[in-house]
Amino acid sequence: MVLMPKRVKFRKGQRGKRRGMSFRGCNLSFGEFGLKALENSWFSDRQIEAARVTLMRQLKGGGKVWIRVFPDKPITKKPAETRMGKGKGDPSHWVCVVKRGKVLFEMSGVPLTIAKESMRVAAHKIPFRTKFITRTGT
């Protein structure tokens, strides 16, 4: 299951900037525990799915997980061994622009030790530094 938008206004987007802090989605909204980004980065659809699968495996069917990010930015790529020019490449995959402070995943219905361990294993699938947070504060 690869995450991507059903439809977009424009097929190809510009790269944009990844600096600054996130002002929305910085606090836990649904669960008791969460995984917060500490760096600015792109979070691809495959990386989101890999982290989600890891979380679900660790929970063994218990608890509930919320994914707070969605890849809505198209990334284009030109074919290998293609000469320069001839326009922009075709969309190859989708990413989510993640800024510092954004909550990526939330979880509830499990003890603190299981939540901490499952978020730790999921963090290994994520290409930037993250922090485990709780509703009471960490």
Residue 16 lies in a domain: no
Of the candidates 60, 65, 133, 124, which has an alpha carbon nearest to the alpha carbon of residue 102? 133
Quote the pTM value.
0.91
Q: Tell me, what's the pLDDT at 137? A: 60
pLDDT digits (tens, 9 = 90+) for 23-57: 999 999 999 999 999 999 999 999 999 999 999 99
Would the CA dihedral through 39, 98, 107, 62 be positive or negative?
negative
SS3 of residue 91 by DSSP = strand
pLDDT digits (tens, 9 = 90+) for 114-126: 999 999 999 999 9
Question: Once rounded to an integer, what is the mean pLDDT over residues 56-63?
Answer: 91
Residue 10 lies in a domain: no
pLDDT digits (tens, 9 = 90+) for 1-30: 688 999 999 999 999 998 999 999 999 999
Q: Tell me, what's the pLDDT at 138? A: 52
Residue 113 lies in a domain: yes
The domain total for the chain is 1
Which helix (DSSP H) or strand (DSSP E) does residue 73 occupy?
strand 73-77
Please report, as a single letter, which amino acid is at residue 17: K
Cβ pair 130, 123 in contact under 8 A: yes
Residue 52 lies in a domain: yes
